[in-house]
Amino acid sequence: NRLNIPFEKRMELSTNSIAKKLFNIMATKKTNLCLSVDMTSSTKIIDLLEKVGEHICLVKTHIDIIEDFSDNFIMQLKQLATKFNFLILEDRKFADIGNTVSLQYTKGIYKISEWADCVTVHSLPGEGILKALNSCTNTGSKGVFFLAEMSSEGNLITHQYTEATVKMAAKYPDLITGFVCQKKETFNNPGLIQLTPGVQLDSSKDDFGQVYNTPEKVVLENGADVVVVGRGIVASKNPEAQAGIYKNTLWKCYMKRVSG
Amino acid sequence: NRLNIPFEKRMELSTNSIAKKLFNIMATKKTNLCLSVDMTSSTKIIDLLEKVGEHICLVKTHIDIIEDFSDNFIMQLKQLATKFNFLILEDRKFADIGNTVSLQYTKGIYKISEWADCVTVHSLPGEGILKALNSCTNTGSKGVFFLAEMSSEGNLITHQYTEATVKMAAKYPDLITGFVCQKKETFNNPGLIQLTPGVQLDSSKDDFGQVYNTPEKVVLENGADVVVVGRGIVASKNPEAQAGIYKNTLWKCYMKRVSG
Ligand SMILES: O=c1cc(CO)n([C@@H]2O[C@H](COP(=O)(O)O)[C@@H](O)[C@H]2O)c(=O)[nH]1
Ligand SMILES: O=c1cc(CO)n([C@@H]2O[C@H](COP(=O)(O)O)[C@@H](O)[C@H]2O)c(=O)[nH]1
């Protein structure tokens, strides 16, 4: 059972280089908090990361919402990633035919493949999407978090969809870092990472269908390895303090899980 | 049956302003060709549109693959849209929770809501995605092409998924321009537009799962109203000539359909 194996051990079972790195960072920094920096100002993102970088294993970006995006922002982000030892996940949710996705991943203003350690990908378009990403060889070490479930109310993902997603991923062991999902039953492979969004301490939903659970619920009951927190931290009055609180709470839950 | 009603008549049945406009353009210019300008150079896109603008009713962009994107490109694109009387569809395939999608639609470098007449949206995340787009009031007239089916091999869309998508759309009559889909059975409402990609005269597939059909097949058998052509035109030796050929072939098919 992957849930009881410590991250140090699971690292050795990973076939994707980014999964190995992320397990290692979590074990070393003792944090499984992924901060979703859903803010539209690059300066504010950099300022926040300077303060909370020590608390996180992964930063999740929506690069296309940043109003003052520049190559300099990417440079600063990478410097912070090195300074604080965290990885970068661009939450692009690729969802097109393979040919289009390979262009979206490597070209344009953002050139995601050049700076993101990993990206999120929907399985909806079929296997061509993974085949295309896999063939983008301009980067060495890269990873995919494959969406097997979503956090939002009324989403159209069925059990069959999730199963087909996990099956599709199994053909690309070098590429797949893990799954974005909500349930521990979704997959078994201990070398893969369960990334779970939809977590907030002070709220149970937003106005557009987002559903929140508690850290205890997602880590202990639902099998989350890395937990994504966005507005719970970035929209709070004191993001720095909140980041510390989420980090400690989430790590305690993980410790309880592996020791129990 | 929507398939036998001419575009002029269907225009009157549309509840979305962009669908009305698009039906009107098709009827006036006698073209149901949507050109997918999947090129990474803005200058090349503008040059091509100068040549083929007269042949198309809709231009479909992947704004995030353009290497030299600038606000000036958007200005030129809008000028061409006015000059040649076509609409602009940004094929963003939004596929996230509502809160994130509203940021992606209105913010960032691209500010899609400010220039795109319509956008493509996945139903996968659930109704919150439409609710969020609907609440972005910074634009007047806007439209959504909702993905009910995909062209790619092995995609995970089931009959149930398609049905749920069409049902979800029915709650947003002002917002929905039509469906991106492959089959005539997908929906009945004659005020909505069927946009069908995956068409090429010289090829039956690509290396990453794209599947091609002929103009006859998609318009006469499968119910396409507007047909998306990408590489069939942009990757051909003479895009200008090809655009003319696709336009004429597609329009003949439509004429045969409504008269038969
Ligand atoms: O199913 C999902 C998948 C993802 C990530 O791939 N997300 C993302 O997590 C973040 C949750 O933010 P929140 O904690 O503020 O709701 C958002 O960036 C959202 O786009 C979700 O909220 N739900
Ligand atoms: O199911 C779909 C949906 C879309 C549009 O929403 N597309 C898009 O049409 C275009 C087809 O290009 P092609 O004619 O070169 O294959 C691409 O931009 C692709 O992203 C598809 O190819 N398949």
Average pLDDT, chain A: 97
- Residue from A133, A57, A96, A159 nearest B61 by CA: A96
What average pLDDT does range A142-152 have in this prediction?
98
Q: Is any atom of ligand 1 closer than 6 Å to the C-beta of B96? A: yes
Ligand nearest to the CA of B37: 2
pLDDT at residue number B138: 59
A206 has catalytic annotation = no
pLDDT at residue number A141: 86
Segment A35-90, tens digit of pLDDT = 999 999 999 999 999 999 999 999 999 999 999 999 999 999 999 999 999 999 99
In the chain, the amino acid numbered A81 is: A
Segment A158-200, tens digit of pLDDT = 999 999 999 999 999 999 999 999 999 999 999 999 999 999 9
Q: Strand B33-36 relative to strand B87-94: parallel, antiparallel, unpaired?
A: unpaired
A91 has catalytic annotation = yes
CB contacts under 8 A, A 161-190 vs B, are 161, 164-165
Segment B5-48, tens digit of pLDDT = 999 999 999 999 999 999 999 999 999 999 999 999 999 999 99
Q: Give the residues of chain B that fall short of pLDDT 50.
A: none
Cα A144 to averaged position of ligand 2 atoms, centre (Å): 22
Cα B132 to averaged position of ligand 1 atoms, centre (Å): 14
CB contacts under 8 A, A 92-111 vs B, are 93, 95-100, 102-104, 107-110
> Of all residues in chain B, what percent carry a pLDDT higher than 90?
97
Distance CA B35, CA B29 (A): 15
Distance CA B35, CA B182 (A): 17
pLDDT of residue A140 exceeding 80: no
Give ∠ CA B196-B198-B204 in degrees, rounded to 5: 150
In the chain, the amino acid numbered B246 is: Y
Distance CA B25, CA B215 (A): 20
**Residues in the annotated binding site of B for substrate:** 38, 60, 151, 210, 230-231
Q: Is any atom of ligand 1 closer than 6 Å to the C-beta of A91? A: yes
Distance CA B198, CA B187 (A): 19
Contact A156 B150 (CB under 8 A): no
pLDDT at residue number B140: 66
Residue owning the nearest CA to atom 14 of ligand 1: A230
Segment A101-112, tens digit of pLDDT = 999 999 999 999
pTM given for the model: 0.98
CA distance B198 to chain A (A): 10
Q: Is any atom of ligand 1 closer than 6 Å to the C-beta of A230? A: yes
Judge contact between A105 and A94, C-beta under 8 A. yes
A217 has catalytic annotation = no
Segment B160-180, tens digit of pLDDT = 999 999 999 999 999 999 999
pLDDT of residue A138 exceeding 90: no
Contact A152 B126 (CB under 8 A): yes
pLDDT at residue number B260: 79
What's the full length of chain A, in residues? 260
pLDDT at residue number B141: 86
